[in-house]
Structure 1
Amino acid sequence: LIFVVPAIAYLYIFGSGLMAGSLIRNFLEGGKFPRHWITVLEIIPAFSLYRGLYELSQYAIRASETGNPGIQWSDLNDHTNGMRDVMIIIIVEWLVLLPVAYYFDYAASVGNSSGLLSIIKRLLRKNPTWRRIAVNEVADNDVHVEMEKLDIIKERETVDQVLQQRNSGYAVVCDDLKKVYHGKDGNPDKYAVRGLSLALPYGECLGILGPNGAGKSSFISMMIGFSKPTSGNAFVQDFSIHTDMENIYNSMGVCPQNDMLWEMLTGREHLQFYGRLKSLSGSALDLAVEESLRSVNLLLGGAADKQVRKYSGGMKRRLSIAISLIGDAKVVYMDEPSTGLDPASRKSLWTAVKQAKQDRAIILTTHSMEEAEVLCDRLCIMVDGRLQCIGRPKELIARYGGYYVLTMTTSSEFEREVEDLALKLLPNARKVYHLSGTQKYELSKQQVRIADVFMAVENLKRRVEVQAWGLADTTMEDVFVKVATGAQSSDELS
């Protein structure tokens, strides 16, 4: 399918031009083809263009033979040459088809299915508040129809209220942020972030959870200036990411997903360098470097003065986190910060992050549910570029929980007995996991008693060999799986 669209366009232009060249000439010079049907054919752009060129050439030939001037404006009144009809058709088609072509080019580039009138309104629409700006604004093209969650609606309402205030007290405000990677060579567009709106106050750590490809890294790339949003806007300490990134950089810290370090510099030299970029100097710089090294356990064994090429992966990760926090950065982005850390270093890191967030706003992406619950005041789950839910961890567990998770491992020959047990306990028990003899079932708390579950399992163990089993309350991991799979199933259906 590579280059299909340009190829079809070239074929159409070449083919229609060839047909116009042969047919129009024969029809005009033959004199037998009805004139009104020639006018109808001229509605096709290639035919009207060739008719005009044909008439111009005829006047030019006669002018060269007789010495008279070529075609004049007064000759448009001569109905035998058809030039007036050609001019009218070309002007009308230009006025009609140019906006239509613009619409299809504009809409196809982002997959937009809305009407031409709505696009014109969006292009001419005034900014609703002093802070909103339109940058290649496009509408979300999804045929995905879904009742939006109340928490997402409430978050958007908060954003709208904050945008009306000049001094909002919020560190980060995202207003309908979208990112589309346009397809090339016939490939479809990739929608990475779809209309994300959220407001983050100081002193809060917001965790963003989501499967691979959910749009988490694309979101952070826009916020730190690595890529431009397709539409929407975001404000960091009241500065727009479109126009004020220079001001944002002065108070921003970033811990990227992949460590970006110089192998020949020491850990201390890294922190001194980034500290100077944050306008630290003298004793203030030395104090900030020492505190940063201590917070991530890089003072032990002289690690701070070793070249980074001698660091382990975990040590490099801790240094990246220290760099993101140095200089009293008010907004910090951490992309999977604990990747590659051992349990002890992870706990130390968590302590440093919890201390750091007291007067900062932190946006953190992670695949660790434990880390998300420990560090984050609020969590949101992204799937396919959309926010599916947002709230405090306990709120999300209460909202999407309400059930026990029965896990049981047996040999494959007894899997049917486990399924029968779950359905006997609760006819509408839902299987959420099944792999190599291990099965997980959701059992509603309102319909099942714990004592009944224990009794049923003990009876089963008398008949079959149960290698392991457990009954657990809903965890954040269960909520994540439920929300992510539900959203993906909904997308597939749409």
Structure 2
Amino acid sequence: MCWFMYHTQSLEMWVMVMELYPGFSLYRGLYEFAQYAQLEGGMRWEDLNDSENGMKEVLIIMFVDWLVVLFVAYGIDRVVSPGSGVRRRKSQNSQKKPLLSFWKPSLQSKDSTLNVQMDKADVNQEREKVDQLLHESSTSHAIVCDNLQKIYPESDGNLEKLAVQGLYLAVPRGECFGMLGPNGAGKTSFINMMIGLTKPTTGTAFVQGLDIRTHMNEIYTNMGVCPQHDLLWETLTGREHLLFYGRLKNLKGSALTQAVEESLKSLNLFHGGVANKQAGKYSGGMKRRLSVAISLIGDPRVVYMDEPSTGLDPASKNNLWNVVKNAKQDRAIILTTHSMEEAEFLCDRLGFFVDGSLQCIGNPKELKARYGGSYVFTITTSSDQEEEVENMVQHLAPSASKVYQLSGTQKFEIPKSEIRIADVFQVVETAKRKFTVFAWGLADTNMEDVFIKVSREARQSNALT
């Protein structure tokens, strides 16, 4: 009998120990509820004193677990921001501090093995500008990136990925800076670091003079983001989204209402009951417009837009461009896009990103002049005449290079210094007498040609190294 009582008490003790695990205590509580559900009236408050069910101990343990987990979660939240891995440190002074107070010589080390040896004058010039700004007590530049790097470690059989390497960039207020590059170049990884979603591997950046590693809480109050993929609540309306984010930016009362109405009108979300429709019923283009409106509400000083015009029809796209162009007054905007037309219309400067590094930087006219010292000659004939066309172009301009060929259509880059436009017309007219020319054209270099040329040269250079 004594052995049985001892064994029972020991079993109850182990059950109580197991109940310290929240999942097991929840299961025990549901089990007891199920047992009493078979009785008339179910479990009552007085049944908690029944030593047979153990429900009283379960509730006490769950309450203690809740307190413990609450304090642990609070402690983790003070060290690591949710889902990001970016460390937080409590600011000693909430006021904006000069860049110099955050500058550390270790960040400026020229001997870093990850630092890319940049031989391009414009990229080097940007780096020198950043070095100079870091030693100034104040600056008009809203964004300053200092040797910003991001490396994704090996995982699930994937090799180590150098997403952003040695980025130096300074963006002043009132400028829209466009980041161009092929898919996987590192543009979104850069934005994720700037908005606190991921932590830089080395280096840092300053937004309004505040370090992204230690002062993200202050940065959030002056930052707007339009992510690459829409992050919306399906059951909330467009107006409710803007009201929510407006309150996060400290807008209240009539100022909040006015900001929401202006945002809805500027992006064509006001008429036809669209503003009061649930976001889950929006089309893809309407969701993109709402995401842009969210990024601009509250008059943020810094705005990041990751491919904002994706999925928009031409009319909506043109309206969006006008909104962004008007919005860049007295604020810095970093915009990524694959539309060269959008980049030329909106951006004061462009930076080409390839394989995580900045290849060139400048305004659209400078880049076209630098990389566009050639005409693009396109001609379509029958496939049998391709070789003859190629010989014709080589005779016209010995330095011409073929960049495209498919089913009789060929595209050549011809240096401007070697030909006159009249010569091209004359050669084509002569060729028409010998064989059929279905179509032909001569065009000056555009941003798409610059994009292709920079990407190709960068990848060829990386392949050699």
TM-score normalised by L of structure 1? 0.71
Query: What letter corresponds to residue 244 of structure 1 in structure 2?
Result: H
How many angstroms apart in 2 are the aligned matches of 1:331 and 1:378? 16
Report matched runs for 1:298-317 at 5 Å: 298-317=269-288
* Deviation for aligned residue 1:241: 0.5
CA contact (8 A) 1:132 1:233 kept: no
Return the letter of the residue paired with 2:453: K
Distance in 1 of aligned mates of 2:115 and 2:292: 41
Q: Does 1:290 align with 2:261?
A: yes
| Runs of 5+ consecutive residues of structure 2 not aligned to the other structure | 1-98
Equivalent residues in 2 for 1:17-416, closer than 5 Å: 130-133=101-104, 141=113, 148-184=119-155, 187-416=158-387
Q: 1:462 aligns with which of 428, 433, 448?
A: 433
Deviation readout 1:6-49 (Å, 9 max, x if unpaired):
xxxxxxxxxxxxxxxxxxxxxxxxxxxxxxxxxxxxxxxxxxxx
The answer to whether the 8 Å contact 2:230/2:288 transfers is yes
Bigger mean CA deviation after superposition, 130-139 or 189-198: 130-139
1-structure distance, mates of 2:254, 2:337: 35
Q: Larger C-alpha radius of gyration, 1 or 2?
A: 1
**Native 8 Å contact 1:140 1:195 kept in 2:** no
Q: CA deviation at 1:492?
A: 0.5
> What's the offset of the Cα at 1:296?
0.8
1:493 aligns with 2:454: no
Counterpart check, 1:472 vs 2:446:
no
Kindly provide the amino acid, as one letter, of the partner of residue 277 in structure 1: L
CA gap of 1:321–1:340, structure 2 versus 1, over 3 A, is same
Structure 1 unmatched runs, 5+: 1-127
**CA separation in 2, counterparts of 1:288 and 1:143?**
44
Q: Specify the alignment match of 2:57 in structure 1.
A: none
Once the two structures are TM-superposed, the CA of residue 141 in structure 1 deviates from its matched residue by: 4.2
Matches of 1:143 and 1:431 in 2, distance apart?
35
Deviation at 1:233, TM superposition (A): 0.7
* DSSP 3-state at the match of 1:359: coil
Aligned partner of residue 182 in structure 2, secondary structure: coil
1:300-348 deviation per Cα after TM superposition (whole angstroms, max 9, x unaligned): 2121111111111100010000000000011000000100000000000
Distance in structure 2 (CA, Å) of the matches to 1:347 and 1:130: 43
Partner of 1:60: none
What is the alpha-carbon distance in structure 1 between the residues aligned to residue 125 and residue 416 of structure 2? 28
Q: Counterpart of 1:420? A: 391
> Structure 1 142/406 Cα, relative in aligned 2: closer, same or farther at 3 Å?
farther
Instruction: Tell me: CA distance 1:138–1:258, structure 2 relative to 1, closer, same or farther (3 Å).
Output: farther
Contact 1:275 1:327 in 2 (8 A): yes
C-alpha change, 1:136 and 1:393, in structure 2 (3 Å) is closer
- Distance in 1, matches of 2:284 and 2:325, equals 23
Q: Is the CA contact (8 Å cut-off) linking 1:379 and 1:391 kept in structure 2?
A: yes
Give the secondary-structure state (helix, strand or coil) at the position aligned to 1:446: helix
- The alignment-based identity, stated in percent, is 63
Count matched residues: 366
Q: Which amino acid aligns with 2:121?
A: L
Equivalent residue of 1:340, what SS? coil
Give, as a single letter, the amino acid of the residue that structure 1 aligns with 2:237. T
Q: Which moved more, 1:366-375 or 1:307-316?
A: 307-316
CA-based RMSD:
1.9
TM-score, structure 2 as length reference:
0.76
Amino acid at match of 1:404: Y
Aligned residue number for residue 11 of structure 1: none
Give the Å deviation of 1:140: 5.5
CA distance in structure 2 between the aligned counterparts of 1:237 and 1:435, rounded to whole angstroms: 51
2: CA distance between counterparts of 1:378 and 1:418?
A: 38
